[in-house]
Amino acid sequence: MRHPSPTQIAHLKLALFIACLIPGARLLAAAVLAVFGPDPVADITHTTGIWSLNLLMATLAVTPLRRLLGWNWLMRLRRTLALYAFFYACLHVLAYLIFDQFFDWREILKDIAFRPYIAAGCLAFVLMIPLALTSTHTMMKRMGGRNWKLLHRLTYGIAIAAVFHYLWLVKRDITVPAYYILALLGLFWARWTGTSLNPASYPVDPGPGLASRAAARTKTGARI
């Protein structure tokens, strides 16, 4: 789907919105039906944390996929992915504050000071807040495109902190965190190297609008 119509993009965004709700809906259903496992708090914190990380990684994957496939419309889905990553991060933090620490701020501060995985998770969440607050088109215009892009590069720092939060949390089998580390390294490579994901290396259908303008320039002898 190289050039979907606005209607198709709207349908894709709606489908993505609903799909991203499913993990949260399953947690809500488990709570209502009382079908959690022996440790409901662990179930809630693990599910919300994993899905926040999954959606964060998916957000970072949008730009490399756009370059690889020539699908510029993928950028229209990135904001939904990013906001859902923040949504599940909020649920993850709330589960920790309410069910684990009961809003005991002294214990929370001790955790941040003496448990590296808590500190890393706290850092990731705090860095997500300004990105969520500036995710609208209005804020982008107010900040200016260049400043907005610089701020939103924090996404990479957030991903690093989130992956280490997971790695340091796991005490024995680090297989799954290792997969996330490898995926993150791959995304970094795809983002900052212009080798195999260089858009110039792939033929991109210019679409009807660009094609007609290119033809007009060719007829008038203008450079393209």
Kindly report, residue by residue over 106-153, the tens digit of the pLDDT. Answer: 999 999 999 999 999 999 999 999 999 999 989 999 999 899 999 999
pTM for this model (two decimals) = 0.83
Contact, 60 vs 155, CB < 8 A?
A: yes
CA distance 214 to 224: 7
Range of the domain at 182: 6-198
Contacts of 107 (CB under 8 A, 6+ apart): 101
Number of domains present in the structure of the chain = 1
119 in a domain, yes or no? yes
Neighbours of 74 (CB within 10 A): 19
Q: Which of 8-17, 74-83, 107-116, 212-221 has the lowest mean pLDDT?
A: 212-221
163 in a domain, yes or no? yes
**pLDDT mean over 74-81:** 94
Answer yes or no: is pLDDT of 184 > 60. yes
pLDDT tens digits, 188-204: 998 877 544 444 444 44
Distance of CA 64 to the CA centre of its chain: 13
219 in a domain, yes or no? no
